[in-house]
């Protein structure tokens, strides 16, 4: 899924939280180098059928002149696992 621009990003965030109202993140590590930051995380949420699920991901955030110009998200959300 691709969201370009602030409004598209806001809409994506709203849609995600409507689909997963108890959606949470645990950040494991954050690395910064020059204009790039990398965040490793695990997300957790309750599926519509009541199962608790989790998946892992990485955000790679590129900034220029103090503004985010790209946030690439890679995750295993396509195949979440049951929360232990």
To the nearest whole percent, how much of the chain has pLDDT over 70?
A: 100
Contact 41, 28 (CB under 8 A): yes
Taking 80 as the threshold, does the pLDDT of residue 1 lie above it?
Answer: no
Total residues found in the chain within this entry: 84
Taking 90 as the threshold, does the pLDDT of residue 82 lie above it?
Answer: yes
pLDDT of residue 73: 93
Average pLDDT over residues 49-54: 95
pLDDT of residue 9: 87
Average pLDDT over residues 25-34: 92
Contact 40, 58 (CB under 8 A): yes
The pLDDT tens digits for 2-21 are 888 889 989 988 998 898 89
Confirm whether pTM is higher than 0.85. Answer: no
Which domains does the chain carry? 23-82 (3.10.450.50)
């Amino acid at each position: 899924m691709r969201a370009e621009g602030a409004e598209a990003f806001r809409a994506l965030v709203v849609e995600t939280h409507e689909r997963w109202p108890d959606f949470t993140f645990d950040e494991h590590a954050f690395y910064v180098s020059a204009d790039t930051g990398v965040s490793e995380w695990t997300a957790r949420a309750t599926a519509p059928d009541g199962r608790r699920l989790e998946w892992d991901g990485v955000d790679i955030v590129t900034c220029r002149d103090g503004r985010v110009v790209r946030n690439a998200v890679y995750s295993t959300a396509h195949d979440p696992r049951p929360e232990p």
